[in-house]
Amino acid sequence: MDCSCISVFVSAVFINLIPVNDSSDTLILSCIHLPLFLWTVLGFAFAGDRLNDYQKRMDFLRYNGDLIVITTIILISGMALTAMTQGLFSLIGMEIS
């Protein structure tokens, strides 16, 4: 197995083994920091064995930036389509809720 697969598995086991305690913020902090850790693991897997290659690092950051921009455009388009659909159905008098 690859090192990145092992770290994803270990982090999934870790987050599920944290005891739920209302007076502790451990679960909340772990849930906040786990995506950052997994994003770092993905970056190491993307760079491969060339961690000192700055071009691979920039390619990874560029890919993530493009992914964020495209996801935002798709979400905005989906909200606009939903608003138009609800407006058209309210125009003909049908309740779609």
* Alpha-carbon span 48 to 82, nearest angstrom: 41
Residue 67's alpha-carbon distances to 12, 15, 24, 47, 70, in angstroms, are 24, 26, 35, 17, 5
Encoded tokens for 93: 């008098």
Site of tokens 């000192």: 52
Rounded to a whole number, what is the largest CA-CA distance in the chain? Answer: 62
* Alpha-carbon span 55 to 90, nearest angstrom: 52
* Alpha-carbon span 60 to 38, nearest angstrom: 14
1 pLDDT higher than 90: no
pTM beyond 0.85, yes or no: no
Min mean pLDDT across 6-10, 27-31, 48-52, 80-84 is at 48-52
Domain ranges of the chain: 1-48, 50-97
17 pLDDT higher than 60: yes
pLDDT tens, position by position, 36-87: 999 988 888 888 877 788 898 899 999 999 999 999 999 999 999 999 999 9
